[in-house]
Chain A
Amino acid sequence: MMIKLDLVTKVYPDGTEAVKEVSFEVEAGELCVLLGPSGCGKTTTMKMINRLIPITGGKIYINGGDSTKMNENELRRNIGYAIQDIGLFPHMTVGQNIGTVPSLKGWPKAERNKRAEELLELVGMNSGEFIDKYPSELSGGQCQRVGVARALGADPPILLMDEPFGAIDPITRVRLQDEFLKIQQDIKKTIIFVTHDIYEAIKMGDKVALMKEGQLVQYDTPANLLYRPKNEFVEDFVGADRALKGLQLIRVKEVMTSSLPTVKADEKAEAARERMEQEGIDWLVVVNDDGKFLGWVGKAELGKGELVKEVMNSSAITVTVNTVLNEALSLMLSSGANNLPVVSKDNRLQGVLSFDIIRKALTEVSQRRQSE
């Protein structure tokens, strides 16, 4: 458990109860979105984690330790911090900005420079071109990137991001979201990400904490939030209806993955394991000699027999290229499968539809509608 909030409460000196007994846990490597309408206490909750705002009730544990017992500056130097207004230091170069925390931690100059170069490249900026520029010479999108790079400065295990892509145009925002997700796959930080945008939340979050008037209403995966809303507030806020209608407009063939590794039913289980390792995945689709879909095999089951067909799960739940996405999604939810095979009329395998693909389609539809 990287971050744990236990009945966290914040009453401001003027009596405003901004956060009321909020509890949730974020696992290492997870991206947790704090979502909710403006004024519901997202920012307050986030800032209590790095103690920019003192907590008035409950406890916050970072990596098992009570955060109030730690030195606050030490704590903050190990928690990356990126905000909507970015707050780049205008009198410092991009390189110096990114090197802020490394410099506070006493890294030698050469190391700070090297780190700044790496991070600029990571966020998609040419380090040679930008490292000596000043913030006033950058575009809004570039500033946001530098802000994220600066938050990653000393490679902190935890990142706090408060509407980091909030102040930029929708097209750039989508690009930054995509890029950031790609980066996160590599760096695997534990992230608290604040947004009031449900689509951003669904797209970015492993978990979403939906808040209302200082209270945590539902803490769940994006899928459950959308399709298993706890109450009417959640339903209204996520607009599940609207989202589903958007999915009705898309067919499987538009979004499915068509090239995927398979294994034949009478191959050896060892062969399947090798293929999984090559591809870096932990499951394979099983087909017969004619390429017809038979079922799945997972890495965990491989040891249970000699041949693939002895250990595979045969499955009858499939979709076709013309299935609409909302039907595919309800199949997924009712069967509990994260992936559905796409087959032709004669059961020949044509591709696969994953939950991630649907989720991506969902955000794209929604964002397209928003901008229309």
Chain B
Amino acid sequence: MAGVCTDEEREKVVDFLNGKSSVKSKFYFQDFLPLFPDKKPREVKKVLSALIDGGVLEYWSSGSTTMYGLKGAGKQSAAEGES
């Protein structure tokens, strides 16, 4: 399933992440849901997937848990809770 994302949606996600960049660089999927109160989680996923494909976001995975962050932000191999 391809991702779908408008410019406005991209801005919302990027602004959210930039706003938090001094505190954290990686976020759980659930952290993005409040940005889109009218969307079901699986629609929010399409937005994030499009941003991953477009190289705006990247996944971080501990192996058991996955998080999302701006591409290149934070330490690439820092542990969970250490970002």
Q: Is chain B found bound to chain A in the same assembly?
A: no
> Which of B's residues lie within 8 Å of A, judged by CB?
none
